[in-house]
Amino acid sequence: MQGVGFRPFVYRVATEYALKGFIRNTSSGVLIEVQGSSSLLDKFCRTLKQDAPPLARIETIDECAIGCISEEAFVIGSSSSGAEVETLIPPDIALCCDCRSELLDPRNRRFRYPFINCTNCGPRYTIVERLPYDRPFTSMHGFTMCPECEQEYHDPLDRRFHAQPNACPVCGPALSLLDSSGKPCSVTDAAAEAVAFLKQGRIVALKGVGGFHLAVDARNGEAVRRLRERKGREAKPFAVMMRDMAVVQNFCELSEGECTALNSPEAPIVLLKKKKIEGLSPSVAPLHDRLGVMLPYAPLHILLFNDEIDVLVMTSANFSEEPMVNENDEALLRLKGIADAFLMHNRPIHLKCDDSVTIHLSGSLRHIRRSRGYVPAPVYLREDGPVVLGTGGELKNTVALLKGTHALISQHIGDMKNYEAYRHFQHVATHLQHLFQATPELLVHDLHPGYMTTGWALKQNLPLLGVQHHHAHLASCLAENKVERLAIGIILDGTGYGIDGAIWGGEVLIGDADGAHRFASFEPMPLPGGDAAVEQPWRAALGYLFRSFSTIPDLPFMKGRTIEPVLELLQKRVSVYETSSCGRLFDAVAALCSLQGEITYEGEAAIALMLAAGGTIGSSSFRCALEEHSGRWIIKVSPIIQDVVAAVQKGVSVVDISRRFHRTLVNCFSDIIRKASEATGINTVALSGGVFQNALLFETLVCELEKAGYRVLTHSLVPSNDGGISLGQAVIGRSYLAGRYCGIH
């Protein structure tokens, strides 16, 4: 990988052992030629492996002996720009300790300089225009280094040797503060002035590493509510940035794994359990038991905190579900009316990249959104193969480019619901190919004919393959776990187009990338009005009642709603879609319990139902019935709905209903896995799909399946939600090119 300080490290080691030779980057990795006594060479090799810099990742070392030639010293050669570039671009890396000390040291020439960086930290992926990763090909090309920076850049013993974004106040990018109308404010210290604004409760748009954030003081309830209002974000939780670990520990429970993640060079948002929230505005993350927390990762962020400001809401600057804003002009235009001030700079962001979101469950860090800090580091595959591009799905879209043994998965692109998102998608999909100089032999898209990503694939003039959504989920889970044999996949999510045209989403598939058999699925339920029932779970609830009862019972959730037209749709079977979705089942049960009749963001009702359980699963279950229909097991949904209704009518608390409902799902899937395993002898179970972001369901199921002796595969490198399906699609694409693909049946 370039830009992680590997060459200066090797130089230092070689010099220390008085070895001679050279190191240089080549198109296929690093080439080191070194001569000296064999004992020193052994030491040299050992040190390479043991003491490599924190961000360097050595995949393999190939050694061979060659004849001696006369050499004077050890030198760092310039990069050769081969025809094929394989050297990887590193992700954007959080501020390192050394730079942080310099930033805060009044005697340092970069004191309070918001663009301080070195070979161990700083922006990478977001500033790269093309390979090789050299300054002229980054968005730093407009800044000429001053003599002092230049000297650091060329000194192999300096921490800034070949640090491409190297800069200082004399020669590098600068901050500026603009008022709400975009007029520059004349201030001497823009960051300090922005802090004053924040303290007054104002909304500051600030340009960070991968795009703009909107920041407000998280202790100021009024300010947070104003941000919600202006951004058109009613209830979806905001992420916060906390000044330091002491502040985090004050508000949140913290495990060792969570602590490591927060402080890692990737510096993601980690969803932490709330401990004490007094002092924080309740509208930061209303109703949630967790808070999305990150630590300051860019030098600019450090300058925003002081004794008075220790928690900031930091949310991607966009309107509702559009992609985040990354350019200055765009920010002034699109954030007008939202931001009270703009803290910007003149280092362009070439590629926007949101913050990554993670959660620590069942002993591992899991991605909910894999973006800044992780992208474009590859996910390693078991096998080599042709170049294939997976275009992802419709929600939480990512694209995946397979090249050799690397799966290069894009940053989170977002929901393909608007033109902005589609433009971002197009940009990323083509940029990835240019950046890694790989032209796909095959494009793989979702089977859904209406997806924008499918439409894009059809226009590309390349061989195509449409892949079933849940098959892609299964293949994704197997690929990231490097498992090639058959597995029983429990795939639970909201929506995926089935091969029969119905909406799938509660599936047990047995197979691998080559193909899969639909062993079991939820009983199909009618969804009146399709998408309307997704946004309004009470409509879904009516559909589920309609299928489960001959006379629809009168329930509290119906109060004040005009249910007749919906029932009419169901009776006449007009715009009614059959679904085996697990997400919709959660929605329906949440609505039946009067928890959430409408939602303002995806998954809101399901989350409300999970939260109602308060982290505890029930001991008793609703009825869990399996029926076999022409070679497929049907997990009966209507008895569950009947039992939930009976419980609601008896006045059983939502807490208990939720706990029992979760227990029911765990029992159903345990039963079905036993059947599948007995029928096939397969002992490996793969869990995928957005529903597994439900901590209660996920952790219980993992625990019980493992206890029962199964090998359980889960996602930790890519999201279990639709952010992970591009990987699965691409891997299936390779099986197709190899002539092994037989689809789903």
**Residue 405: C-alpha distances to residues 385, 388, 402 (Å):** 7, 12, 7
Q: Is 498 left (phi over 0), alpha (psi -120 to 50) or beta?
A: beta
**Residue 367: C-alpha distances to residues 269, 565, 721 (Å):** 10, 41, 9
Select the residue whose beta carbon is closest to Fe ion and give its number: 493
Residue bearing tokens 């939720």? 658
By C-beta, is 493 or 587 nearer to Fe ion?
493
103 belongs to the binding site for Zn ion (CB under 5 A)? no
Check: CB of residue 58 under 8 Å from CB of residue 47: no
Segment lying near Zn ion (by CB under 5 A), choices 145-153, 239-247, 365-373, 485-493: 145-153
Minimum CB separation from Zn ion for residue 240, in Å? 24
Check: CB of residue 5 under 8 Å from CB of residue 96: no
Check: CB of residue 230 under 8 Å from CB of residue 203: yes
Nearest to residue 204, comparing CAs of 301, 137, 286?
301
Check: CB of residue 578 under 8 Å from CB of residue 502: yes
By C-beta, is 265 or 506 nearer to Fe ion?
506
The only residue of 55, 76, 93, 99 in contact with Zn ion, by rule CB under 5 A:
99
610 belongs to the binding site for Zn ion (CB under 5 A)? no
Token couple for 511: 């197979």
The only residue of 407, 597, 722, 732 in contact with Fe ion, by rule CB under 5 A:
722
Segment lying near Zn ion (by CB under 5 A), choices 16-24, 140-148, 398-406, 416-424: 140-148
Minimum CB separation from Zn ion for residue 297, in Å? 12
For Fe ion (CB under 5 A), the number of binding residues is 2
104 belongs to the binding site for Zn ion (CB under 5 A)? no
507 belongs to the binding site for Fe ion (CB under 5 A)? no
Check: CB of residue 245 under 8 Å from CB of residue 262: yes
**Residue 529: C-alpha distances to residues 86, 218, 543, 561, 724 (Å):** 49, 39, 10, 15, 28
The only residue of 93, 121, 191, 534 in contact with Zn ion, by rule CB under 5 A:
121
Q: Is the peptide bond before 376 cis (omega within 30 degrees of 0)?
A: yes
Contacted by 120, from Zn ion, Fe ion, none: CB < 5 to 8 Å by type: Zn ion
Contacted by 157, from Fe ion, Zn ion, none: CB < 5 to 8 Å by type: none
By C-beta, is 13 or 145 nearer to Zn ion?
145
Minimum CB separation from Zn ion for residue 93, in Å? 8
Give the DSSP H or E segment for 224. Answer: helix 221-231
Per-residue x/- track, 164-203, Zn ion (CB under 5 A): ----x-xx--------------------------------
For Zn ion (CB under 5 A), the number of binding residues is 10
By C-beta, is 266 or 493 nearer to Fe ion?
493
Contacted by 493, from Zn ion, Fe ion, none: CB < 5 to 8 Å by type: Fe ion
Which strands make up the sheet holding 388-390, listed edge to edge? Answer: 379-380, 406-409, 400-403, 388-390, 442-446, 464-467
Contacted by 722, from Fe ion, Zn ion, none: CB < 5 to 8 Å by type: Fe ion
By C-beta, is 123 or 392 nearer to Fe ion?
392
Check: CB of residue 287 under 8 Å from CB of residue 267: no
493 belongs to the binding site for Fe ion (CB under 5 A)? yes
Q: Is 562 left (phi over 0), alpha (psi -120 to 50) or beta?
A: beta
Give the DSSP H or E segment for 240. Answer: strand 240-242
Contacted by 168, from Zn ion, Fe ion, none: CB < 5 to 8 Å by type: Zn ion
Nearest to residue 641, comparing CAs of 595, 684, 591?
591
Minimum CB separation from Fe ion for residue 276, in Å? 35
446 belongs to the binding site for Fe ion (CB under 5 A)? no
Segment lying near Zn ion (by CB under 5 A), choices 13-21, 116-124, 340-348, 507-515: 116-124
Give the span between the Cα atoms of 631 and 481, in whole angstroms.
29
Segment lying near Fe ion (by CB under 5 A), choices 34-42, 143-151, 429-437, 718-726: 718-726
Give the span between the Cα atoms of 464 and 131, in whole angstroms.
28
149 belongs to the binding site for Zn ion (CB under 5 A)? yes
Minimum CB separation from Fe ion for residue 398, in Å? 12
443 belongs to the binding site for Zn ion (CB under 5 A)? no
Residues between 134 and 193 that touch Fe ion (CB under 5 A): none
Minimum CB separation from Zn ion for residue 135, in Å? 13
Minimum CB separation from Zn ion for residue 100, in Å? 8
Minimum CB separation from Zn ion for residue 143, in Å? 8
Check: CB of residue 502 under 8 Å from CB of residue 579: yes
Segment lying near Fe ion (by CB under 5 A), choices 130-138, 220-228, 314-322, 719-727: 719-727
Nearest to residue 320, comparing CAs of 415, 413, 398?
415
Contacted by 149, from Fe ion, Zn ion, none: CB < 5 to 8 Å by type: Zn ion
96 belongs to the binding site for Zn ion (CB under 5 A)? yes
Segment lying near Zn ion (by CB under 5 A), choices 88-96, 221-229, 390-398, 535-543: 88-96
Contacted by 96, from Fe ion, Zn ion, none: CB < 5 to 8 Å by type: Zn ion
Check: CB of residue 478 under 8 Å from CB of residue 512: yes
Residue bearing tokens 């959080």? 94
Give the DSSP H or E segment for 734. Answer: helix 725-737
Q: Tabulate helix, strand, coil % of the chain (nearest 5).
A: 35, 20, 45
Phi, psi angle pair for 659, to nearest 5°: -60, -40
Minimum CB separation from Zn ion for residue 152, in Å? 8
Minimum CB separation from Zn ion for residue 95, in Å? 6
By C-beta, is 128 or 395 nearer to Fe ion?
395
394 belongs to the binding site for Fe ion (CB under 5 A)? no
By C-beta, is 477 or 487 nearer to Fe ion?
477
512 belongs to the binding site for Fe ion (CB under 5 A)? no
73 belongs to the binding site for Zn ion (CB under 5 A)? no
Give the DSSP H or E segment for 604. Answer: helix 604-612
Check: CB of residue 542 under 8 Å from CB of residue 570: yes
Check: CB of residue 685 under 8 Å from CB of residue 673: yes
Minimum CB separation from Zn ion for residue 51, in Å? 18
420 belongs to the binding site for Fe ion (CB under 5 A)? no
Q: Interface with Zn ion by CB under 5 A: which residues?
A: 96, 99, 118, 120-121, 146, 149, 168, 170-171
Q: Interface with Fe ion by CB under 5 A: which residues?
A: 493, 722
